[in-house]
Chain A
Amino acid sequence: MLFVVNLVASSNGYQDFTDHSAFLSASTDQALRSIKNAEASGVDTVSLIEKFNVAMTLVAQAEYEEYSSCPSYDECVFQANTILLSIVDQASSSSNQASARNEQLNTMIFTVYVPAISFVISIITVVTYRTWKSRKLKRFQTLNIQENRHYDE
């Protein structure tokens, strides 16, 4: 059923509305992929998103031929493409750094932090239990036992 729905959706729902040149479309796609990858690696993507939106504003100016921040179609497309390529570079280097950092952190967590915390919890628990048990035993040993006899006359 879902497959049929998808087929109906694909015949009507997918529409090629992009008319900017193929290379710009490719760089847009590449920039988008690299931002998503960077985000998945834990990179703060705010500046990348801002740059991407600036590039898309330039693309829109070229498409609508309403030039406010660039003088002509070619110039708009060129500037947008330059920004998109810089996004790809920035995202990929940030992504690599973040991946290395994450890997290092994960190694530290699983080889140092988790065993250390487990050790401390176990030591504290065993010592507390043993202290409690020995005190209880000591108290029992020092108990003053008295026998109360009640004789009913």
Chain B
Amino acid sequence: MNNLRTLSFLASRASEILTSRQFILLFGSVLAVLFTLTYSSLDAAPQSQFFTISTLGSQSAASYYPNDNLVLSQGDSVKWNVRVYNHMGGVEYVSVRVKLLGPSQYGPDDNLHVPSATVPLYEERHMVANNLTWTMPLDLAITGFDQASNTITSASINGKKVENLNISSNGGIRIIVELWRYDIEFQNFVFTWPAGADKIGSAWNQIWIETK
């Protein structure tokens, strides 16, 4: 009997609360706020999109040359690690292209986001997940050098032999490492990426060497 009375009291109290203007207004407001918050959280906030590319020594330290000597002779080799970090907000298929440039050849242009017009001697492609870094070992050796004309005639990059080169090294040689990404709409690799409203980005590294 007592229980029944308590139950009936609770039911009438609950009904009174649920039908009160106070509760209805509060419930409507909380519902609207939670709907808005949930909906906006489902739509992921746009993050800044970029790649970074860095070239480090073989022990992943910034020591680039054997015995810290940037002058390389025929048979000398350098071992570097090229690291590509993907912060594009999704998986990306990238291509790292290695070019050897003489002092009179143009490198990539940072302002116009144009790559060097020189043909790449080596290319490696890889798919990189978002927010991850891909490390590509780069082992470069000068296998042919004409001392009379101070010209590199052949090289080996990651074991791939590149013959018939004619790169004058008077004044130094630049090893250019360019980052290209696959553009699904264009169905090819492009040197740039969209970096927000009306902006594009590009990334490349260069390391100077001298030869003798």
Interface residues of B (CB under 8 A from A): 17, 20, 22-23, 26-27, 30-31, 34-35, 38, 42, 90-91, 93, 95, 97, 112-115, 117, 120, 123-130, 159-160, 182, 184, 186-192, 198, 200
Contacts and interface: CB of A to CB of B under 8 A. Distances in A.
Interface of A: 2, 5-6, 8-9, 12-18, 25, 29, 32-33, 35-36, 39-40, 45-46, 49, 52-53, 56, 59-60, 64, 66, 106, 109-110, 114-115, 117-119, 121-123, 125-127, 129-130
A109 to B, nearest CB: 6
A94 to B, nearest CB: 14
B35 to A, nearest CB: 6
Residue from A25, A40, A106, A123 whose CB has the most chain B CB atoms within 10 Å: A123
B23 A123 contact: yes
Contact of B30 (A35, A106, A109, A122): A122
B114 A8 contact: yes
A114 B147 CA distance: 77
Nearest to B122: A64
A13 B192 contact: yes
A2 B198 contact: yes
A126 B17 contact: yes
B5 to A, nearest CB: 20
